[in-house]
């Protein structure tokens, strides 16, 4: 068991705690059910901060990487999905803040100028800092995924007893959850973390993905079970 636990890093446990506990609490506090609903000020602010951090990691390089360690195939390939994830989280954040188009575009321009200045004045960052920059993005992404799945399933499929006639439907929902979660995880968790620091074997990432799915399942229904 100790070996399995060593495969997960601080970011993995933080993500599990976030999707299992913070996501349902934020949704209940903001009285929203979807990741693109308006009236989610906390989600909106967190999303913008997360996007700025992830973008800063994307445009900078590592100061503690050896010159001979050129970016690998996975690291280079991860940049594309990360850009897609940045757009998705940005759209969700702007929707949560109910920002008009002009305000949304202004935020993007200001953030871009700020990152360019950082890129010019401080082009390299330690790996630990780069990991810290993308961690809020993975947490916000997990929150987005959890609220989306809760909206699609209603949460009820996982918050009460299931009789024999519902087992087939539950298996379908779980299969969809795992398949969709794999694509989502690759784009919004795996990709940014590989950009920050390429590491981990395939088996390691399978274990981390399993933790994420488990946390998401817990977050779907525990408030309803407790009568929250």
Summarize pLDDT for 20-73 with one digit per residue, the tens: 999 888 888 877 767 888 888 888 899 989 988 988 888 887 777 654 455 555
Q: Note the pLDDT of residue 164.
A: 46
d(CA 145, CA 105): 24
Output the pLDDT for position 68. Answer: 45
Q: Where are the domains of the chain?
A: 2-226
Q: How many CA atoms lie within 13 A of 82 on its CB side?
A: 28
- Of the ranges 99-113, 139-153, 165-179, the best mean pLDDT one: 139-153
Instruction: Decide: helix, strand or coil at residue 149.
Output: helix
Query: What residues contact residue 115 under an 8 Å CB cut-off, 6+ apart?
Result: 52, 55, 56, 59
Q: Give me the percent of the chain exceeding a pLDDT of 70.
A: 68
pLDDT, tens digit, 9 for 90 and up, residues 102-145: 666 676 677 667 666 665 566 688 889 999 999 999 999 998 88
Mean pLDDT for the stretch of residues 176-189: 86
pLDDT for the residue numbered 111: 67
């Amino acid at each position: 068991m100790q070996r399995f636990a060593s495969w997960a890093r601080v970011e993995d446990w933080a993500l599990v705690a976030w999707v299992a506990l913070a996501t349902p609490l934020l949704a209940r506090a903001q009285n929203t059910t979807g990741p693109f609903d308006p009236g989610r000020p906390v989600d909106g602010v967190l999303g913008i901060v997360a996007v700025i951090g992830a973008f800063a990691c994307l445009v900078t390089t590592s100061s503690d990487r050896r010159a001979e360690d050129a970016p690998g195939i996975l690291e280079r390939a991860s940049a594309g999905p990360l850009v897609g994830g940045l757009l998705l989280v940005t759209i969700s954040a702007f929707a949560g803040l109910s920002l008009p188009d002009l305000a949304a575009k202004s935020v993007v321009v200001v953030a871009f100028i700020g990152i360019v200045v950082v890129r010019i004045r401080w082009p390299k960052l330690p790996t630990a800092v780069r990991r810290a920059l993308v961690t809020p993005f993975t947490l916000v992404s997990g929150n987005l995924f959890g609220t989306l799945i809760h909206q699609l399933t209603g949460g009820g499929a996982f918050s009460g007893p299931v009789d024999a006639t519902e087992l087939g439907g539950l298996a379908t929902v779980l299969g969809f959850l795992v398949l969709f979660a794999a694509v989502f995880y690759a784009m919004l968790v795996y990709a940014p973390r590989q950009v920050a620091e390429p590491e981990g074997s395939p088996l390691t990432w399978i274990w981390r993905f399993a933790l994420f799915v488990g946390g998401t399942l817990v977050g779907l229904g525990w408030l309803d079970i407790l009568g929250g």
